[in-house]
Structure 1
Amino acid sequence: MRQLQLSKAFTLIEPGPVVLVTTHDGQHDNIMTISWTMVLDFAPRLAITTGAWNYSFAALQENKTCVIAIPTVDMIDTVVGIGMCSGADTDKFAKFKLTPVPARIVDAPLIKECRANIECKVVELVEAHNIVVLEAVAAYVEPAHKEHRMIHAVGDGTFIVDGELIDRRRMMAAKIPYGV
């Protein structure tokens, strides 16, 4: 094996998928690209990593709601473009021709062009690690969405795309939570 710089070790286990997180600050909608996401358990608890360096963070802290929109590979240039500009001076919905759809529970909008959207409430901020713990309060998927493959960031400007679905549900039946 060849030694890897320790500063690049995270690229071996970078989580995914890359998501778009929408917020509403009381006046404006915004979108940020997030590649650090995690599921906390089989309950509807999720987490993202972000902080004050993202314009949307103030809205997350103030309003304590957001939407996690899950884009597919056909949106990769939009996803990267959203991450390369700031909502402080850019209306990202207009610039990237995305359609905001009113959420049912939270103030932040869903994104129509994404395959799935999850309405969330902020339940905890773990400041030491810039982790925002979210509780999902509603979720939607668009079955007619033709593309299903999600994008996973490696962390160095490259991405991996979901591939073939491999089904091992029968083998894992004893470990899969009821209803999943």
Structure 2
Amino acid sequence: MSHLYKCLGSINGCVFEGGLDVIEVSWDEAIRRKYPEPVVLVVSCDREGKPNVMPAGWCMVTSGRPPMLAVSIGHGRYTHKLIEETGEFVIVFPNEEMKEMVEYTGSCSGRDVDKFKAFGIETLKAKRVKPPLIKDAVACFECKVRGRLVTGDHTIFAGEVVASHISEKYRYRLYNFGNNLFKTIPG
């Protein structure tokens, strides 16, 4: 394939060369092409320190200095309520052995179930936030909320990373390939 774009010298002056090899489809059909995507676990807790965890696919780095991560959480989620209350969360990169944990923690609400007890999730004490780390995770990032952006039915919480931790045993994080298929992509 030669050049995809031919720029005509103006900032907005890019036009396609030849025809487009695309068709218009619904949002629902097109968004399925996002897979594979990294999956994270978002750990939060209530004011008394009782933890909750949920899987999320919408997480990204938003700044290097200061280090910040953002995660998009649905307004009706229990995790949303807890992050709003405490202003803290932990982003966890799960390892391949955590596939079932990711599936199970996404199948019920922390309003109704203590997921840590129900699924036997082992934790480690965080250094600078109340929500715990998850043992054997590829990486854990302790975050304090520094910004919020309401985007339709979700809120993007931007958290400053106040402490980072990595596993000496696990290196490869889990990805979601769609249809409940989770696996790692070796680097």
Q: Which amino acid aligns with 1:7?
A: D
Which residue of structure 2 aligns with residue 110 of structure 1? Answer: 133
How many Å apart are 1:125 and its aligned residue? 1.2
How many Å apart are 1:15 and its aligned residue? 7.4
Which residue of structure 2 aligns with residue 161 of structure 1? Answer: 183
* Residue 35 of structure 2 corresponds to residue 25 of structure 1: no
Distance change in 2, residues 1:141/1:97 (3 Å): same
Whether the 8 Å CA contact 1:21–1:68 is kept in 2: the answer is yes
1:134 and 1:56 map into 2 onto residues whose CA distance is 14
Secondary structure of the 2:71 match is strand
**TM-score normalised by the chain length of structure 1:** 0.80
Whether the 8 Å CA contact 1:19–1:35 is kept in 2: the answer is yes
Secondary structure of the 1:50 match is strand
> Larger % of strand: which?
2
Distance change in 2, residues 1:95/1:48 (3 Å): same
Whether the 8 Å CA contact 2:73–2:156 is kept in 1: the answer is yes
* Residue 164 of structure 2 corresponds to residue 143 of structure 1: no
Distance change in 2, residues 1:16/1:134 (3 Å): farther
Which residue of structure 2 aligns with residue 12 of structure 1? Answer: 33
2:35 and 2:82 map into 1 onto residues whose CA distance is 26
**TM-score normalised by the chain length of structure 2:** 0.77
Whether the 8 Å CA contact 1:149–1:162 is kept in 2: the answer is yes
* Residue 154 of structure 2 corresponds to residue 133 of structure 1: no
Gap regions ≥5 residues in structure 2: 1-20
1:12-40: per-residue Cα shift (whole Å, max 9, x none)? 23574211111111121111111111111
1:87-141: per-residue Cα shift (whole Å, max 9, x none)? 0111111111111221110011111132211100111110135211111110000
Distance change in 2, residues 1:15/1:23 (3 Å): farther
Provide the identity percentage. Answer: 30
* Residue 91 of structure 2 corresponds to residue 68 of structure 1: yes
Which residue of structure 2 aligns with residue 36 of structure 1? Answer: 58
2:39 and 2:185 map into 1 onto residues whose CA distance is 15
2:36 and 2:162 map into 1 onto residues whose CA distance is 23
2:36 and 2:88 map into 1 onto residues whose CA distance is 22
Whether the 8 Å CA contact 2:73–2:79 is kept in 1: the answer is no
Whether the 8 Å CA contact 2:40–2:94 is kept in 1: the answer is yes
